[in-house]
Amino acid sequence: MIGFGSPIFGAIADKYGSGKAALYSVILFLIGLYLFSLVNSSVMLIFSQAIFGLGCAGCGTAVVLGAVGKAVSEKHRTLSLGIVMAAGSLGQFLIVPLTGAMIEATDWQRSIVYLCFIALIMLLFSLALSLPSKNSGGEGNQDRLLKSVLVEAFGNRSYILLTVGFFVCGFHVSFVATHLPAYLEDISLPVWIGSWSLALIGLFNVVGTIMFGYLGDSKSKKNLLVILYSLRSFLFLVFIFIPKTEITILIFAALLGVLWLSTVPLTSGIISVIFGSRYMSMLYGFTFLSHQIGSFTGSWFGGRFYDLYGSYDVMWWICVGLGFASAAMHFPIYEKPLVKKYT
């Protein structure tokens, strides 16, 4: 639902402003989160998460990165996008242990209600996004139909390659986040290794997103993506063969964290280079939909192959192959503005 909602809220942001899109989505986010605290059946669980997912779509990367892309000059845009992604990772790193402490002190239902109160601050931030941007574009571009922009984008070879390649990022991220703790438990490592591995991934993702965001302002973004996906595959390949101990797992998690969502500022940055910032939210939203389809696929196939083969070995090898395939897809991307650029 995050994936399907991203291009919808992205289009709302591009047409009516990031503030309105963020405000509507935060309201859905809060409703879905509160309904989750009332769950008493599988239907209620799915319904609450569907609403929550739609809310996450609008107050997530598509709208926020689009707002940043419009507000920041092209010279520092990729670094700024990286800083925003780093802030999200830092929030995850801080909130997860806080939530765990609240659950221990009360129960999970009350903890979710407390999280709703914490999330209310996003309503104030959504109002800040309503402020006008000096880089929002001219009047002619303001009236341009979103449909015609989409036709042009999906006829652009580089945009298609970027979107398909982003599927792999979602596949990797979701498979690891969903199944790494179970994999570590299967090989008889302590339970705390799983949670600390995910925490380290989130922490080192702060380093990675800022680092690759900084490099993306001066280096070729598509070449950095080729390097990044290749490094991921090499890391998965090494992980398959190394002895699995507490130390090696934590080192693996830290290195993977550097490469985790560092793709996001580079991917969104390429979209802004090719098409400009005016329709960045919507165009990145469709690319992010591909990412989320990859996330769904990585999560589901991880469990399915485990049911079939009794191990995750096949999935680790698939991650290796997909990483190299994505690197190959990014190599021919033409990282230059269209003749008619929408700024």
Residue type, 286: F
In a domain, 343, yes or no: no
In a domain, 340, yes or no: no
In a domain, 171, yes or no: yes
Q: What is the CATH number for 91?
A: 1.20.1250.20
At residue 227, the pLDDT reads 96
In a domain, 60, yes or no: yes
Summarised one tens digit per residue, pLDDT across range 113-154 is 999 999 998 888 887 776 544 444 443 444 457 778 888 889
Q: What angle do CA 7, 8, 11 make, to 5 degrees?
A: 80
Residues lower than pLDDT 50 in the chain: 132-143
At residue 104, the pLDDT reads 81
Helices (H), the chain: 2-16, 18-37, 42-58, 61-71, 77-105, 108-119, 121-128, 139-142, 146-154, 157-186, 191-216, 221-241, 246-258, 263-275, 280-309, 313-330
Residue type, 298: G
At residue 340, the pLDDT reads 60
Distance (Å, whole) CA 211 – CA 79 = 8
Closest to 27 in 3D by CA, of 68, 66, 59, 65: 59
At residue 135, the pLDDT reads 44
Residue type, 101: A
Q: What angle do CA 35, 32, 297 make, to 5 degrees?
A: 120
Q: Which two tokens stand for residue 26?
A: 């935060």
The residue written with tokens 């996450």 in the block is: 56
The residue written with tokens 């090719």 in the block is: 274
In a domain, 336, yes or no: no
Distance (Å, whole) CA 122 – CA 254 = 29
100 lies in which domain range?
2-131+139-330
Give the global pTM.
0.84
Q: CB neighbours of 195 closer than 8 A, spacing ≥ 6? A: 181
At residue 196, the pLDDT reads 84
Q: Which two tokens stand for residue 269?
A: 């940055």
Q: Which two tokens stand for residue 36?
A: 């989750």
188: burial class by Cβ within 10 Å (0-12, 13-18, 19+)?
exposed
Q: Which two tokens stand for residue 197?
A: 């591995």
Q: CB neighbours of 54 closer than 8 A, spacing ≥ 6? A: 1, 2, 4, 5, 25, 28, 32
Cβ neighbours of 334 (radius 10 Å) = 12
In a domain, 342, yes or no: no
Indicate the number of domains in the chain.
1
101: burial class by Cβ within 10 Å (0-12, 13-18, 19+)?
exposed
Closest to 284 in 3D by CA, of 266, 311, 301, 261: 266
At residue 343, the pLDDT reads 55
Residue 287 exposure: Cα atoms within 13 Å on the Cβ side? 32
At residue 139, the pLDDT reads 39
Q: What angle do CA 258, 261, 264 make, to 5 degrees?
A: 130
Distance (Å, whole) CA 296 – CA 302 = 10
Q: CB neighbours of 279 closer than 8 A, spacing ≥ 6? A: 14, 144, 146, 149, 342
In a domain, 175, yes or no: yes
Residue 56 · residue 4 · CB < 8 Å: no
Cβ neighbours of 181 (radius 10 Å) = 17
Residue type, 95: I
At residue 142, the pLDDT reads 47
**What is the DSSP secondary-structure string of 233-265?**
HHHHHHHHHS---HHHHHHHHHHHHHTSSTHHH
